[in-house]
Amino acid sequence: MMIFPRGVASVMIFTLLGAGACAPSGEPEVVAIRYIRAISSGDPDTAVMLLDTPRLAIRVEEEILVVESSGRESFLEDSIETLLWGLFRETRPVDFEYGATPAKIDGDSAEVTVTKTSLDGTTQTTAVHLRNTDRGWRVSGASLDRLVTFVVQRLTEKY
């Protein structure tokens, strides 16, 4: 398997299928809080499950070129999930209180502002972008930007 930065060679892009994990549905505010709680407490299983994996894989594939015909889709999705699982696992659990603003919903997209407050009163606010998929609300859009960059860097280094 070889991975090249986009532009090195041309290949047809195939739409990737999402991970088959059962996903929680619910209101976008609940999903946003669950995601921020998961990435803040070192819970990679929940964090990865709440991602819009198909959209993430498409965005990664826009940046790199995966050259191989058989098993390419499953390789890329497995690699993405494994890399992000490790990233989220590195987080040391800290106690926070979580709050969210009502979601700004526009069609199948939503934005929720989540505030986490530490025991000493320090607050951090994060805008969480979500997409309503057939598996419920998933973290998507601009919230995937850093994750796409992380995955592309790791895959490029490794291959």
pLDDT at residue 35 in the model? 96
Task: Compute the average pLDDT of residues 17-34.
Answer: 65
User: Is the model's pLDDT at 5 over the cut of 60?
Assistant: no
Tell how far CA 98 is from the center of its chain.
20
In a domain, 85, yes or no: yes
- The range of the structural domain enclosing residue 68 comes to 26-158
pTM tops 0.75, yes or no: no
pLDDT at residue 113 in the model? 98
In a domain, 5, yes or no: no
In a domain, 100, yes or no: yes
Query: What is the DSSP secondary-structure string of 34-69?
Result: HHHHHHHTT-HHHHHHTB-HHHHHHHHHHHEEEE-S
In a domain, 48, yes or no: yes
User: Is the model's pLDDT at 10 over the cut of 50?
Assistant: no
**pLDDT tens per residue, range 52-82:** 988 998 888 888 766 554 555 566 777 888 8
pLDDT at residue 81 in the model? 82
User: Is the model's pLDDT at 30 over the cut of 70?
Assistant: yes
Number of domains present in the structure of the chain: 1
In a domain, 151, yes or no: yes
**pLDDT tens per residue, range 122-155:** 999 999 999 999 999 999 999 999 999 999 898 8
* Residue 97: pLDDT band with limits 50, 70, 90: very high
Q: What percent of the chain is helix, strand and coil (3-state, nearest 5)?
A: 40, 25, 30
Can you give the CATH number for the domain in which 138 is found?
3.10.450.50
In a domain, 69, yes or no: yes
In the block, tokens 């989540």 appear at 114
**CB neighbours of residue 133 within 10 Å:** 17
In a domain, 6, yes or no: no
In a domain, 10, yes or no: no
